[in-house]
Amino acid sequence: MDLEDLVVHMADVGVRRAKNNLLSEVNWSVELDERWVILGPNGAGKTTLLKLAAAELHPTTGEVHVLGEKLGRVDVFELRPRIGFCSAALIARIPPEETVLDVVVSAGYAVLGRWREAYDQLDTGRALDLCKALGIGHLADRLFGTLSEGERKRTVIARALMTDPEMLLLDEPAAGLDLGGREDLVARLSDLARDPDAPATVLVTHHVEEVPPGFTHLLLIADGGIVAQGLLEDVLTSENLSKTFGQDLELDKLGDRYFARRRA
Ligand SMILES: Nc1ncnc2c1ncn2[C@@H]1O[C@H](COP(=O)(O)OP(=O)(O)OP(=O)(O)O)[C@@H](O)[C@H]1O
C-alpha cells in the first residue's frame, strides 16, 4: 500500500529524551477505515505515540508519515487542522466561561482563521448536531466550567469532530469518569466507530473495560516498545495482556465487552 493511503505510518521510530528511550523500534500503520485501541500501563509511551500521530512531536529516529505527509518535511501547522486531538491537556486549556456550543463551534476558527463574529448558521447547526450525537445537545448553552467530567469529555470530542478531521485521536477519554459516565462514553465511541463516515480513530486507554465495541485493531505497548498489534480479536488475549502489564492476568469477554483481573 502507498504511504499516501495510510493515515499513520511509522517505520523504526524511536523517541529519546534525557537519555531515556520513550519509544523504540516502533513500526505501525493505520488505514483509513481502521479504529485502533492503544493499551498499556502507566509510562508505557502511549501519549508519546499519540503525539507523534498528532504531529505534535518529531521522532528522534525513524520516519513518521501522517496523512501521507512526512514529519520533518511538512508544515505541521497545515497538517494539524486535519487531525482531531482530544486530551486532558486540551480540556485544561478551555476557558470555563465559554458555552458548550462556543467550545465546539470555535474549533472551526482555529482552522479557518475566522473572526468570532463571522461564523454562520451552518457552523452553529453542525456544532449542535455533533453535540446531540454525543448526548450533550441539551447542554449547548451551559458554561463549560459547570459541566461534569463526562460532559467535558464529550464536548471536546464534539469539538474535535467539528472540523471534519481525517483522523481522530483520543487520549484516555474515559479517565476520571464514574461507571455511568464511562459506560455512556463507551457507547458513544462505539456508535462513532461503527459509522462508516467517521474518521480513522485511535483511542488510548489503560483498561480493557474501556474498549468500545466496533474498534477493529489493538496495539499493546510496554516500556516504549510494541508488545503485540493487529486485529483486536486476535491480539486481545490473557497472554498478551499479562505480558503487557507484567502480571498474570485473565481476560474475559462478555457479549462484545472485555474484562480483566489478576489470576488468583
Ligand atoms: N520530556 C521527557 N523527558 C524525559 N522523560 C519523559 C519525557 N516525556 C515523557 N517522559 C517519560 O516517558 C515515559 C512515557 O511517557 P508517556 O506519557 O508517553 O506514557 P503513557 O503511556 O502515556 O503514560 P500514562 O498512561 O501514565 O499517561 C514516561 O516514563 C515519562 O515519564
Q: With 80 as the cut, is the pLDDT of residue 121 above it?
A: no
pLDDT at 218: 98
Query: Does the beta carbon of 155 lie inside 6 Å of ligand 1?
Result: no
- Averaged pLDDT for residues 42-56: 95
**Which of 17, 22, 206 is the pocket-test mutation for ligand 1 (most atoms within 8 Å of CB)?**
22
Average pLDDT value over all residues in the chain: 91
Condensed to tens digits (0 to 9), the pLDDT of residues 146-194 reads: 999 889 999 999 999 998 899 999 999 998 888 988 999 999 999 999 9
Q: With 60 as the cut, is the pLDDT of residue 40 above it?
A: yes
pLDDT at 113: 42
Structure-model confidence comparison of residues 224 and 77, the more confident one: 224
- Cα 92 to ligand 1 centroid, rounded to whole Å: 19
pLDDT at 4: 72
pLDDT at 210: 96
Query: Does the beta carbon of 42 lie inside 6 Å of ligand 1?
Result: yes
Condensed to tens digits (0 to 9), the pLDDT of residues 95-109 reads: 999 999 999 988 866
DSSP annotation of 137 reads: G
Q: Delimit the domains of the chain by residue range.
A: 3-262
- Predicted TM-score (pTM) of the model is 0.92
- The CATH number of domain 3-262, selected from 3.40.50.300, 1.20.1560.10, 3.65.10.10, 1.10.287.1080: 3.40.50.300
**Can you state the angle between helices 121-133 and 149-162, rounded to 10 degrees?**
130
CB 189 within 8 A of CB 203: yes
Q: With 70 as the cut, is the pLDDT of residue 116 above it?
A: no
pLDDT at 118: 58
Confidence category of residue 129, pLDDT binned at 50, 70, 90: very high
Helix (H, G, I), strand (E, B) or coil at 58: coil
pLDDT at 112: 43
**Which of 23, 47, 170 is the pocket-test mutation for ligand 1 (most atoms within 8 Å of CB)?**
47
Q: With 60 as the cut, is the pLDDT of residue 111 above it?
A: no
pLDDT at 204: 97
Query: Among residues of the chain, what percentage have pLDDT more than 70?
Result: 94
Q: Are strands 69-70 and 61-66 parallel, antiparallel or unpaired?
A: antiparallel
pLDDT at 45: 96
**ipTM of model:** 0.95
Query: Does the beta carbon of 47 lie inside 6 Å of ligand 1?
Result: yes
Specify the ligand 1 atom closest to the Cα of 44: 21
User: CA 215, CA 189: separation in Å to the nearest integer?
Assistant: 9
Condensed to tens digits (0 to 9), the pLDDT of residues 4-28 reads: 779 999 999 999 999 899 999 999 9
Q: With 90 as the cut, is the pLDDT of residue 227 above it?
A: yes
pLDDT at 114: 45
Dump the DSSP string for 1-52.
--GGGEEEEEEEEEEEETTEEEEEEEEEEEETT-EEEEE--TTSSHHHHHHH
